Structure 1
Amino acid sequence: MSMAAQVLLLLRLRGAPPAAGVPPLLAGWRRGYSQGSEYLHRSLVPTMHYQKSLPRLPIPKLEDTMRRYLNAQKPLLNDDQFRKTEQLAVSFENGVGRELHERLVAQDKQNKHTSYISGPWFDMYLKARESVVLNFNPFMVFNADPKAEYNDQLTRATNMTISALRFLKTLRAGILEPEVFHLNPSKSDTQAFKRFIRFVPSSLSWFGAYMVNAYPLDMSQYFRLFNSTRLPKQGKDELFTDEKERHLLVLRKGNFYIFDAIDKDGNIVKPSEIHAHLKYILSDNSPVTAFPLASLPSENRDTWALLRQELLDNGNEEALRKVDSAIFCLCLDDFSIKDLVHLSHTMLHGDGINRWYDKSFNLILSKDGTAAIHFEHSWGDGVAVLRFQNEVFKDSVQSPAITPESQPAAVDSSKAVQKLNFKLNDALKEGISKAKQHFDATMKTLTFEILQFKRGGKEFLKKQKLSPDAVTQLAFQVAFLQQYDQTVATYESCSTAAFKHGRTETIRPASIHTKTCAEALVRKSSQRSAAELRQIIAECSKYHGQLTKEAAMGQGFDRHLFGLRYLAESMGMPLPSFYQDQAYAQINHNILSTSTLSSPAVNIGGFGPVVADGFGVGYSVHDDWIGVNVSAYPSRNGQEFLQCVHKSLEDIFNVLESTQVGG
C-alpha cells in the first residue's frame, strides 16, 4: 500500500471531507418513511467481502521503533536523562528486546487471522480496574436535525431508534456498504466496479480494490455495536453479545424499561408502535429511583464485579440478562441543555442515574432533543461508532420514520413495555449509595472548557501549505509551554483500521521541532524574524505529517513496545530494565491526551483526562474555525490552558499572515 494512499486514508479516518463525487449528507432527504423499509440501503458488495484479504498490521523493525522512541524522548529529557535512556534503549535493542521481537514476529506468523496488537489491546482495556466513566468512555454529540420541529425529544428518539435498527438489520443482512476509502471514486465508487468486485473471491477482493486505488477498512468490530455489554469480573472483564435478543433498553429517571423493537419474524416493530411505547415511558410518573442501580457500572471494576455477583445471588439474574442483552440503551433525560459545557458534562458522565456505562453504546436524548452517543471503549474504536453515527443521522434526517404530526399507534403499551424491578438487599443498597457518593464526588472535580477560534481554519492553513492538524497540535505545545514552562508527553490517537484487526497507533506531537518553535514564540528573547518563525512552523508541519503517515501505516513505536512488554509479562520474564526507566514511565504518562474528528453528523465530542494531572483535548479543525473542548481535574487549569491555546493560535496566524504565501 503506497504511502500516499495511506495518508489520504488516514485523513478520511481522522475527519477530512469525503472524496469528490460523494453526495452531500443531506442531499435529497425525504420527509416520508417508506413503509416496510427495513434497511438503510442494499449494497451490491457484501459487507464483509474484503475482510478476509485485508493486509495484516505490520510489526515495525526493532531498530526503527527504538529510533522513533528516542526521537520522541528528546524534547522531554535533559542531556543527562537522555544519555541514560539512550543507553538502556541500545542495550534493550541488542539484548532482551531482540529476543522478544523475534518471538513476537514468530507468534504473529502463527496467528494470521488477527493482528499482533488485537489480543493485548483487548486485555489492556478489560484488565483495567479503574471506572470506565471519565477514564475510558468518550462521547460524540449529533448535530441538530436541520428541520427544527423534528428535534422534539419523542419524535427524534423514535426516528433515531428506527434508524439504528435499520443499521442493525442492514449490517446483519450483509448489505451494509463496506467501509472503503476511495482515492479515485470515479473508478471505484461506481456500480460497474461494484458489480465486478462482488464476484472476486473474498481472499482476493482487497487486491481488486487496490488496483483501482480503493482501500477497504477493517469491520471486525461492528458486530459488537448491538446486543453487547462489558461484564465486570474480578481481575479481567468480559465482553458479552447475544444477537438473538430483540428488545431495547430504555432508561428514564433511573428506571429501566424494555420492549421488543424487533418482532419474532425479525422485522422492525412498526414506527408508530415504537413511538407509542416511548411516549408511554415519557409519560410515566414514577419518581427518580431511590437506589439508582445505574451508578454501579461507574465503580471500580472489582467493586462492581462483587456487587454484580450479589445482584445475581439476590434473584436478579433475569433482569440483568435483559440489560446485558438489549440491542442498545436509549437514555431519555428530563432536562434541556444549557450550553456547551453543560452538554459535555451531560454526555460524558451525566448524573450517574440514567446511563448504563457498560453498554456498547448509550444513545442519549435530552428534553430538547439534543442527541449524543456515549460508548464503552474496550470493544472498539471511533471508526465503527462514527460510521454508525453518520448513518443514523443521515437516515433519521433524510427518511424520518415519523413526523412531528404523527400519531402513536393505538396499542396498549402498558402490556408491551416491561419495567424491570431489581431486588435489593441491605448490602446492595449500601453498595449503590457508596457508588453514587463516589460518582458525585469524582464528577465535581472535572471541569470542561470550550474554545472556538474564529480567525481561520482548514482553508487558510491549506493555502499556506501547512497541515491543519499539525498547526493545531503545535498550538497545544506552545500553550502548555506558555502556561507551565514545560514540554510534556503528548498523545494523539490514529486509526490503523486499514489493516486486519487494526486498532490504533499513537502520534507523538511533542517533537524537537515543536519545542524549538514553542520556545521561539513564548520566549521573546529569541528575536526570531517572522520569516524564520514561518520556516520553523513549516518544519513542524512536515515532521508531524511524517509521524502521521507512519502511525497510519502501523509504523509508530508505542504499540510495538507495548506488545513486547505484554509478551515478556505473559512469559513470566522479569521486566526488562528498559521498561523500568523513569523516562519510559514519563512518556506514557500522557499529560496532553488529544483526539480529533469532524463529520457532518457530529457537533462536538470529548473525553476525560487519562491521568490526574492531564488535559483531555478533543478538537476539530473546520473550514474557517477551530474548536477545542478541554477536560481537566483540579491540578490543571483548563480555562487558562485554552486562553494560552487562543494566544498561541493568534501568534501562529500573525506569523503566517505577515509572511503569506498563496492566495
Structure 2
Amino acid sequence: MTERTFAAEDHLPRVPLPTLEDSGRRLLEWSAPLLTAEELAATEAAVADLLRPDGPGRTLHAALEEYERTPGVGSWLDQFWPSRYLGRRDRIALNANFFFLFRDDTVLAASTGASQAERAAGIIAAAVDYKLALDAETIPPVTQRGQPLSMWQNKYLFSETRIPGDPLDSVRVPYTDEWPGPSEAKHIVVLFRGNIFRLDAIGPDGAPHSVEDLVDGLRAVLKDAPREARTDTAVGHLTTKPRAEWAASRQTLLADAGNAAAIDTIETALFAVCLEDFVPRDEQHACDQLLHGDSANRWFDKSVSFIVYGDGQAGINIEHCGLDGTTVLSFVDTLLATSAADHAERSGARAQGLPTVEPIEFTLDADQRADIAGAAAAFAAYADANATQNVSFENFGTTRAKQLGISPDAFAQLSYQLAHRRSKGITGATYESIATRQYRNGRTEAMRVVTPEMVAFVDAVQDPSVDTATKLAAARTAASAHVARAKQCQGGEAPEQHLWELEWIQRRRGAELGVTEPIPLYTSPGWQILRDDYLSTSSAPSVNIRYFGFGSTSSRCIGVAYVLLPDRWNIYLATPKPVAAEMHAYAEHLRTAVADLEALLASE
C-alpha cells in the first residue's frame, strides 16, 4: 500500500537551529572572501557585539528557542517564511513569481490535439486529477535517497491566493482553521484578452468534466471574448502593483457587493488558465511572457497559473509565498508525464456536456478605471525595463560533468563565477537556493557560493602565468569546497536565515523583549555585502521543462535560472535594462567559460 501523502510530516526531523556562535562564525567565514580587511574587521566587531553575554543577540535567540519549543510549532522557521515572502512590499509580478516553460513533446502534450483549447484542456484535466488524488492523500510522498520529503507545500497548489495587505500580506488557502480540509471549489478561472471567466472543471456531483467537455468550454471562452478588454477594465493589472497599493485598490473593489463576489470567485478558484492570442516568436519570447506577460491577462496572486499560447505551447507561473520550485516540479512532472486519457480515467472524469462558463465582471467607477489604467502603464514600463537572454548548451549536461569527475552543480557554479569575473572584472556575492524538504516544514536554505577556494580557482584560471596542473587542482579544490558548503546548507548549518529571523523577531517583538536599539550586525559590511547579489542562481532539473526563470533581485543582479539535465543545460538570464550590456557580455563569457572549464577538466 502506498504511503499517504502527508503521513510522514509529523515524523520528519526538525530543521536544526544553529547556535548564535556558529552563525556568527559562519557569517564571518562566508563573507570574508568578499570583504576588505577593514570591512572584515568591522564585521568581526559587529558579530562580537551580537555575541555579548548580555547583548540583544542573546535575547532574540532565546526568544527563538522558546518559540521552537512551543507546542504545534514544526520549525523555528515557521514565522520566518511568512515574514520573508508576505512581508515584501514591492511588486510580486516579475520580482517574486517564477515560471517553467514546458516541453512540447511531453506525454500529456502528445496525447492531445495540437490546438490551444486541446492542450489547455489536457492540462486542466491533469491538474484536476492531481487535485482529487491530493484530497484523497494518494499522491505518494516524494523521496530522496529513500527518505520521504515534506509534502506540506502541496496544500498550496489549489485555491491558494495571496491577499494584499498593509503592512503584511496574508494567504487565503485550504487546510487552515478558516478553510478546513481541501478546497471544495469546482471551478477554475480562465483569462483571455483581459477578460476573466469562471469555468467549472468539476461537475455538480463531484465528477470531473471529460477532456472533450473542457475543450468545448475553452472554445466557448475563445468565442465569447472576440475583442481585447479595455485596458481600464482589466482588473488583473492591479495585481502588479506594490502590495500596499494593491491592498488599497482591493478594498475599494470590495465595497461593491458584485465586485466582492467576483473577487471571491477568482480567489477560491482551483487555479488560473491564461490563454494567449499570439504565438511566441521564439523560446525567449515564450519565457518572457511566462515571467510577466500582458498583465491584463494575469492574476499574479493565484498560486498556480497555467499559460497556453496560440499554438499550444504552455508553461506555468507560480506565486512564491507557499510554493518552491521542487514542489512545483514534482507537480508538473506528474501532470506532463501521463496522457490526458489516463488522467481522465484515474480521476473518474466523464462527459457531462458543456461546463458552466460565465464571465466574471466588475462594476468600476472613473477612479477605479484610472487606477487600473495607471497600474497597467506602470507595469508595462517596469516589464520593459527588464532585460533577458536565453543561453543553451545542447552538448553539455550532467552526464558529461560526471564523466569529468565533477559535481554537475559545482561545474555550473564554477562556470558562473569564471564568466562573471571575465565580464565584470570582479567577484560578487552569489546566492544559490538549496532545498531542505527532508525536514519538517522544510523549504530552502540560502547558500553563498563564493568561497576562498572559488576565488582562488578564478584567480588561477585568469592568470596566464599559472600552469595547467595548478589550474586543474584549483578547480578540483573549488568544486570540493562547493559540495561541502551545499551539504552544510542541506544540514541546516548556514547562518543567513537564522540571523535574518533574529532581525524579524526584533521587528515583531522588539519592544516586548526590550530590544529596541539598532543592532550593528545588520548594518555591518559583512551582512550587507554578502546579501547584495551580483548573481542569484537556482536550479530546476526536470525532463519535462525547457526553461525555468525568475526576475533579477537588485539593480545590478543577474538572475540565473537553470535546467541542468543529463543531455542539456538551459539557462534564463534576467537583469534590469540599464545593465543589460553586462548581462549579454556575461552570456558570451559563459559560453567560453564552460568550454574552457570542460577542456581543463578533460586535460587530466
SS, match of residue 118 in structure 1? coil
Q: How does 1:148-167 map to 2 (within 5 A)?
A: 150-167=113-130
Q: How does 1:405-416 map to 2 (within 5 A)?
A: 411=353, 416=356
**TM-score, reference length from structure 2:** 0.92
Q: In structure 2, give the amino acid aligned to 1:106.
A: E
Question: Deviations along 1:396-431, whole A, 9 cap, x unmatched?
Answer: 4673659xxxxx979456xx2111111010111010
Residues of 1 paired with 2:139 and 2:9: CA distance? 14
Per the TM alignment, residue 118 of structure 1 is displaced from its structure 2 partner at its CA by: 2.0
Residues of 2 paired with 1:172 and 1:419: CA distance? 28
Residues of 2 paired with 1:77 and 1:537: CA distance? 22
Partner of 1:582: 525
Q: In structure 2, give the amino acid aligned to 1:428.
A: Q
Partner of 2:193: 253
2:474 is the alignment partner of 1:536: yes
Residues of 1 paired with 2:423 and 2:148: CA distance? 43
* Alpha-carbon distance change, 233 to 568 in structure 1, aligned in 2, over 3 angstroms: closer
- Choose which of 85, 98, 104 in structure 2 pairs with 1:138: 98
Question: Deviations along 1:262-282, whole A, 9 cap, x unmatched?
Answer: 223222123332221112112
Per the TM alignment, residue 516 of structure 1 is displaced from its structure 2 partner at its CA by: 1.3
Q: In structure 2, give the amino acid aligned to 1:628.
A: I
Partner of 1:265: 205
Residues of 1 paired with 2:168 and 2:559: CA distance? 26
Question: Deviations along 1:38-68, whole A, 9 cap, x unmatched?
Answer: xxxxx63211111111111110132222222
**TM-score, reference length from structure 1:** 0.84
- Choose which of 508, 512, 515 in structure 1 pairs with 2:448: 508
SS, match of residue 598 in structure 2? helix
Q: How does 1:376-455 map to 2 (within 5 A)?
A: 376-396=319-339, 399=342, 401=344, 411=353, 416-455=356-395
Residues of 1 paired with 2:339 and 2:136: CA distance? 20
Residues of 1 paired with 2:313 and 2:168: CA distance? 35
Partner of 2:158: 226
- Choose which of 348, 366, 369 in structure 1 pairs with 2:312: 369
Q: In structure 2, give the amino acid aligned to 1:532.
A: T
Residues of 1 paired with 2:274 and 2:250: CA distance? 21
Per the TM alignment, residue 142 of structure 1 is displaced from its structure 2 partner at its CA by: 1.3
Residues of 2 paired with 1:231 and 1:603: CA distance? 31
Question: Deviations along 1:498-517, whole A, 9 cap, x unmatched?
Answer: 11111210111111111111
Q: In structure 1, give the amino acid aligned to 2:328.
A: V
Partner of 1:123: 83
SS, match of residue 458 in structure 2? helix
SS, match of residue 79 in structure 2? helix
Residues of 2 paired with 1:419 and 1:80: CA distance? 63
Residues of 2 paired with 1:635 and 1:483: CA distance? 16
SS, match of residue 577 in structure 2? coil
Q: In structure 2, give the amino acid aligned to 1:91.
A: D
2:13 is the alignment partner of 1:55: yes
Q: How does 1:581-660 map to 2 (within 5 A)?
A: 581-636=524-579, 637-659=582-604
Residues of 2 paired with 1:410 and 1:262: CA distance? 10
Question: Deviations along 1:603-629, whole A, 9 cap, x unmatched?
Answer: 111000011211110112232443221
- Choose which of 471, 477, 491 in structure 1 pairs with 2:431: 491
SS, match of residue 566 in structure 2? coil
> How many pairs were matched up?
577
Does the 8 Å CA contact 1:160/1:392 hold for their aligned counterparts? yes
Partner of 2:73: 113
- Choose which of 272, 281, 285 in structure 2 pairs with 1:342: 285
Per the TM alignment, residue 522 of structure 1 is displaced from its structure 2 partner at its CA by: 2.4
SS, match of residue 388 in structure 2? strand
Question: Deviations along 1:424-450, whole A, 9 cap, x unmatched?
Answer: 101110100110110111111111111
Residues of 2 paired with 1:324 and 1:258: CA distance? 11
The Cα RMSD (Å) is 1.9
* Alpha-carbon distance change, 174 to 571 in structure 1, aligned in 2, over 3 angstroms: same
* Alpha-carbon distance change, 329 to 454 in structure 1, aligned in 2, over 3 angstroms: closer
2:571 is the alignment partner of 1:571: no
Partner of 2:172: 240
SS, match of residue 453 in structure 2? helix
Residues of 2 paired with 1:255 and 1:447: CA distance? 28
Does the 8 Å CA contact 1:568/1:575 hold for their aligned counterparts? no
Residues of 1 paired with 2:63 and 2:163: CA distance? 32
Of the structure 1 ranges 296-305 and 103-112, higher mean CA displacement relative to structure 2 is found in 103-112
2:422 is the alignment partner of 1:479: no
2:235 is the alignment partner of 1:277: no
Per the TM alignment, residue 149 of structure 1 is displaced from its structure 2 partner at its CA by: 6.6
SS, match of residue 279 in structure 2? coil
SS, match of residue 106 in structure 1? helix
Residues of 2 paired with 1:409 and 1:112: CA distance? 44
SS, match of residue 171 in structure 2? strand
Question: Deviations along 1:478-523, whole A, 9 cap, x unmatched?
Answer: 1111122211111000111111111210111111111111122224
Residues of 1 paired with 2:305 and 2:426: CA distance? 38
Of the structure 1 ranges 53-62 and 107-116, higher mean CA displacement relative to structure 2 is found in 107-116
Does the 8 Å CA contact 1:47/1:178 hold for their aligned counterparts? yes
* Alpha-carbon distance change, 215 to 72 in structure 1, aligned in 2, over 3 angstroms: same
Q: How does 1:79-90 map to 2 (within 5 A)?
A: 79-90=37-48
* Alpha-carbon distance change, 624 to 265 in structure 1, aligned in 2, over 3 angstroms: closer
Q: How does 1:35-74 map to 2 (within 5 A)?
A: 44-74=2-32
Per the TM alignment, residue 145 of structure 1 is displaced from its structure 2 partner at its CA by: 3.1
* Alpha-carbon distance change, 273 to 523 in structure 1, aligned in 2, over 3 angstroms: same
- Choose which of 394, 402, 407 in structure 2 pairs with 1:467: 407
Partner of 1:297: 239
* Alpha-carbon distance change, 412 to 376 in structure 1, aligned in 2, over 3 angstroms: closer
Question: Deviations along 1:531-572, whole A, 9 cap, x unmatched?
Answer: 111110001110100111111121111111112212222232
Q: How does 1:507-526 map to 2 (within 5 A)?
A: 507-524=447-464
Residues of 1 paired with 2:453 and 2:72: CA distance? 38
Partner of 1:560: 498
- Choose which of 169, 172, 181 in structure 1 pairs with 2:135: 172
Residues of 1 paired with 2:261 and 2:149: CA distance? 38
Partner of 2:36: 78
2:482 is the alignment partner of 1:551: no
Q: In structure 2, give the amino acid aligned to 1:143.
A: R
Q: In structure 1, give the amino acid aligned to 2:236.
A: A
Aligned identity (percent) is 28
SS, match of residue 505 in structure 1? strand
Any gaps of 5 or more consecutive residues in structure 2?
A: 175-182
Residues of 1 paired with 2:432 and 2:308: CA distance? 29
Per the TM alignment, residue 93 of structure 1 is displaced from its structure 2 partner at its CA by: 2.4
Residues of 1 paired with 2:3 and 2:411: CA distance? 39
Partner of 2:180: none
Residues of 2 paired with 1:397 and 1:523: CA distance? 56
Partner of 1:311: 253
Of the structure 1 ranges 102-111 and 558-567, higher mean CA displacement relative to structure 2 is found in 102-111
Does the 8 Å CA contact 2:42/2:525 hold for their aligned counterparts? no
Partner of 1:29: none
